[in-house]
Amino acid sequence: MNDEVVIVTPELPPAVGGVADYTQRLIEAWPDKENLQVLVPRNAMEELLPGVGRVLVQYSAYGFDHHGYPRKLIRALIDWKIKTGGRLVVMFHEIWTFWSVTNKNFFVQFLHRRAIKSLLKAADKVFTSTESQAEHLRALSSPNPIGVLPVGSNIRRNEDVDLARMPGCAVIFGLQRARLRGLRKMRSSLSSLAAAGYITKIISIGAGSDSNLHDEERSLLNSLPLKEGFEQLGPRPEREISELLLAASFGIFAHDELSLTKSGTFMAYAAHELNVLADFADKSKPAPVCWLVTPRELSQGMSNSELKSRAESLRVWQRENSSWKLIGRTFAEALGLNAAKLSRAGMLHS
């Protein structure tokens, strides 16, 4: 079997999406780009040549099919595996959507689960980004262990700058709807923290194509009693975002706990050593949740040393569990690439 690798992905930059960013970062971390092809399939993967020896799939159901069931893609992957005996590795960014029995999409997703079960049997290695998704995949009686591989930071840390953090400065970063959802959800607690002076300024960073949502976000930010006000910066270059994250003290996390390890935004906060504000934070839970901060904890008073310790622990966890070097090495090893090649590329040790 040759060392040529095809990465199958639903999108690449300049598309706006987490899988596009993930795939781009993975390509940058790959050990041997001469033997690497990237395929964004448009029609049942006719482009996937029989001579290819290794395939890595960045699986996102709605990314590949607007109905959330990429039937032709799954069938093409299984057929390729049967015909060639090549090495097939699948990273499930998304699995299937859960609907009630009365919803018209229920049967479609039933068929989707059945197809994924066949794909699991064909794959040599399977990964996903959250433990909850791994449990659902295991329930399909997968013959292979399901590896949990948290996503990497979608903003690389700029190691060339050493900025003093601004006390009380919080950042909310990500897609427009996610930022808005977070401000709605945490409005009461953020207002209390602002009134007490624990949060003095909020900087919103990220693209926003909907002017109505932009205005609503501005209204929500304006309603908070922030002593130093707020900024709506919109999209910014990666280097500038990194500098803003390095200068802030807190990151506002809008998603739920189940989404934590699949969120590039969370990993960006962790990589930049921010204290992450989240309603579900709990010191008794496993890492990394134990190092997050609830608004209630902060309002009751936390020492600077405790905040610093949690941010540092979160940074170490992120480096050891979701660095792009580790992600690239994990997939390269799963595909069975030559160990000597990985060693020369510096990917066997991080």
d(CA 112, CA 144): 19
Judging by beta carbons within 10 Å of its beta carbon (0-12, 13-18, 19+), is residue 330 exposed, middle or buried? middle
Tokens encoding 206: 């990220």
Element (H, E) at 251: strand 250-252
d(CA 190, CA 267): 21
Tokens encoding 265: 């935004």
In whole angstroms, what separates CA 347 from the centre of its chain?
A: 21
d(CA 310, CA 261): 17
| Alpha-carbon torsion, ordered 98, 102, 104, 108, to 10 deg | 50
Tokens 């009693």, residue located: 225
Residue 348's pLDDT is 47
Residue 350's pLDDT is 36
Query: Could you tell me the pLDDT band of residue 48, with boundaries at 50, 70 and 90?
Result: low
Cis peptide before 286 (omega within 30 of 0): no
Which among 150, 60, 147 is positioned nearest to 112, based on CA atoms? 60
Query: Could you tell me the pLDDT band of residue 349, with boundaries at 50, 70 and 90?
Result: very low
Query: Could you tell me the pLDDT band of residue 3, with boundaries at 50, 70 and 90?
Result: confident
Structural domains of the chain in order of their starting residue, each with its CATH number: 5-152+323-344 (3.40.50.2000), 169-321 (3.40.50.2000)
d(CA 26, CA 124): 20
The yes-or-no verdict on residue 149 having pLDDT over 60 is: yes
> Please, where are the H alpha helices in 156-203?
176-185, 187-195
d(CA 147, CA 149): 6
The yes-or-no verdict on residue 230 having pLDDT over 80 is: yes
Of the ranges 29-33, 122-126, 184-188, 194-198, which one carries the lowest mean pLDDT score? 29-33
d(CA 298, CA 60): 37
The yes-or-no verdict on residue 344 having pLDDT over 70 is: no
d(CA 184, CA 272): 25
Residue 340's pLDDT is 44
Query: pTM here?
Result: 0.89
Contact 156, 242 (CB under 8 A): yes
The yes-or-no verdict on residue 335 having pLDDT over 60 is: yes
